[in-house]
Amino acid sequence: MQSQHQPDCPIGPGPRISRHLACLAVVLALFLPGSVFADRLTVFGAASLKTALEQIAETYEAQSGTTVDLSLAGSSLLARQLQYGAPADVFISANAAWMDWAQSRNLIAAQTRIDLLGNSLVLIAPTAAPATVPSLSLQNSPALLAQIQDRPLAMALVEAVPAGIYGKSALQNLGLWDQLQPHIAQTDNVRAALALVARGAAGLGVVYGSDVIGTPAVTVVDRFPPDSHAPITYPAAATHDGPEAIDFLNFLSSPIAKEIFVGQGFTVLVE
């Protein structure tokens, strides 16, 4: 943990100018942004990007020698953290609305913004606890209600987190929201909703298609029609125009990063 007190200047033999320069170097090392020294980056990413970003960060570190610190959470929380001054070099949101919000407050470098990825929305149930009704589908509301009679429907926060916003819109457009809403358990992010279903604590969940990749504890019981909700888009941007942030942002569009994203169930939007 870095202390907050100002450093003492080094004292020792040599010309006074050398001691002054040494002191200045220590001050700069402690108080200038880490990106100046090109050895560390902080990336704020939507929780649904966890596995993909971990793989991409590891690959980038091996190629560049730069350490990548990932902060993964709901896009709304990450955007608020930027507003409160949390240090980050790159922000990847799970919807355009929170990136728009950050851009309107000059929290990102607007000229660096790209639409990076797309995704889908699915309805899941626990694999270990088979559905009580075999005909579970979005067209069979009685079966859905039977499945969540004793265990809730898990969703990310429906008024704040992109996955929850998309999910609520889809359920409303399919005429299911009013019936299912009393049974919903809201979570801080979509990965938390996934975890509830995987543990069997929730009977159903609304998550991204990418979330179920490598998660055998859940089963997709239906897929939401793409026209039941707004297009799921992941915009990415640097928070400043420093070369290290731009380099990582460009790496997200590289062939190796695209391969990782596709392997984790995302669609790549950038060329």
35 is annotated as contributing to ligand binding = no
pLDDT for 271: 81
64 is annotated as contributing to ligand binding = no
Residue 1 tokens read as: 């943990």
The number of helices, as runs of H, and strands, as runs of E, in the chain is 10, 11
Query: Considering Cα of 45, then 47, then 52, then 55, what sign does the dihedral take?
Result: positive
Domain at 121-228: CATH code: 3.40.190.10
190 is annotated as contributing to ligand binding = yes
Question: What is the mean pLDDT of the segment spanning 80-105?
Answer: 97
pLDDT at 251 over 50: yes
Segment 137-196, tens digit of pLDDT: 999 999 999 999 999 999 999 999 999 999 999 999 999 999 999 999 999 999 999 999
Q: Where are the domains of the chain?
A: 34-118+233-268, 121-228
Nearest to 233 by CA among 97, 102, 44, 132: 97
Q: CA-to-CA distance for 75 and 53, rounded, in angstroms?
A: 15
Segment 197-227, tens digit of pLDDT: 999 999 999 999 999 999 999 999 999 999 9
Q: Which amino acid is at 29?
A: A
Domain at 34-118+233-268: CATH code: 3.40.190.10
Segment 21-79, tens digit of pLDDT: 334 443 443 344 444 445 899 999 999 999 999 999 999 999 999 999 999 999 999 99
Cβ-Cβ contacts under 8 Å for 263 (sequence gap 6 or more)? 52, 213
Q: Which amino acid is at 129?
A: A
pLDDT for 128: 81
CB 204 within 8 A of CB 197: yes
CB 218 within 8 A of CB 198: yes
Q: CA-to-CA distance for 162 and 159, rounded, in angstroms?
A: 8
Q: CA-to-CA distance for 113 and 237, rounded, in angstroms?
A: 4
Nearest to 191 by CA among 221, 172, 214: 214
Q: CA-to-CA distance for 164 and 207, rounded, in angstroms?
A: 8
48 is annotated as contributing to ligand binding = yes
Same fold, 34-118+233-268 and 121-228: yes
Q: Using DSSP, state whether 73 is helix, strand or coil.
A: strand
Pairing of strands 204-208, 121-126: antiparallel
pLDDT for 141: 94
Segment 221-249, tens digit of pLDDT: 999 999 999 999 999 999 999 999 999 99
Residue 16 tokens read as: 């006074």
Q: How far is CA 130 from the centre of its chain?
A: 30
75 is annotated as contributing to ligand binding = yes
pTM value is: 0.81
- Find the DSSP H helices in 32-176: 50-64, 75-83, 96-104, 141-147, 162-173
